[in-house]
Amino acid sequence: METVGFVHMADGTAEDYALLDRVQEPYNAAVADRLLVALDGLKSSLAGYQVSRYEHSLQSATRALRDGRSEEYVVAALLHDIGDELAPWTHGEMTAAIMKPFIAPDICWIVKHHGLFQMYYYAHHSGGDRNARDRFKDHPCYDATVEFCELYDQNCFDPAYDSLPIETFEPMVRRVFSETRYLDDSALP
C-alpha cells in the first residue's frame, strides 16, 4: 500500500497530498453506504418504545415522502436519528454535521434542533421545560422545525403504521449523498 512520506502534515509535499486525494476519493464516495449501515444499526437501539429507532426512521421518511416533501427532506427524515448511537444528548447536531455538505441548510437546521423541539411533547412529564424551543421563536426555521416534529417525529412510533421498506429510500440516500452542494456557510440560516 502506498503511503505519504511525512509524519508531520507541515512536512507534506504536493505529491503526498495528491496521493491522499486519490485514496480519499473512493472513501468519500462511500459515505451513503456508511450512512445506511448506521441506519441499520438502529434496529437494536433504544429499547422501551413500541418500535425500533430503525422503524421510527422508516415511518418518518415514509410520512415525508407521502406528503410530497423534497428528496433531501425525505432523506433527512430517514436519517435524523442516526446520531443516537454515539451522541444521545447531541444526536441532532451530529447528524446535521454529517448532512451539512449534502442537504440544504434549512433542513440541516431542523435536524440539528429537532431534539430540543421534540421535548415539547415530553419534557414536562420529567421535570423539564417543554417550551425550551421558544428561545428560537424568532429564527426563520422555527416553524419548520415545529412542523417536522409534529408531522415526522413525535408520531412515528406506531407499530401498525405501514412504512415503506428501506429499498424505497436507499436510491434517494445514494443520490443525495453523491454530491456536495452546500459547502458555503454563508447560506446558513
For residue 107, being part of any structural domain is answered with yes
Output the CA angle 76-81-31, nearest 5 degrees: 60
For residue 115, being part of any structural domain is answered with yes
For residue 153, being part of any structural domain is answered with yes
Task: Give the CATH number for residue 127.
Answer: 1.10.3210.10
* 131-165 confidence digits (pLDDT tens): 999 999 999 999 999 999 999 999 999 999 999 99
Domain range for 38? 11-184
For residue 189, being part of any structural domain is answered with no
For cell 426512521, name the residue.
57
Q: What are phi and psi of 164, to 5 degrees?
A: -75, 155
Element (H or E) spanning 17, and its range? helix 14-29
For residue 2, being part of any structural domain is answered with no
For residue 6, being part of any structural domain is answered with no
Q: Using CA atoms, how far apart are residues 23 and 161, in angstroms rounded to an integer?
A: 43
* 46-75 confidence digits (pLDDT tens): 789 999 999 999 999 999 999 999 999 999
In this prediction the pTM is: 0.93
How many domains are there within the chain? 1
For residue 4, being part of any structural domain is answered with no
For cell 417543554, name the residue.
130
* 72-89 confidence digits (pLDDT tens): 999 999 999 999 989 999
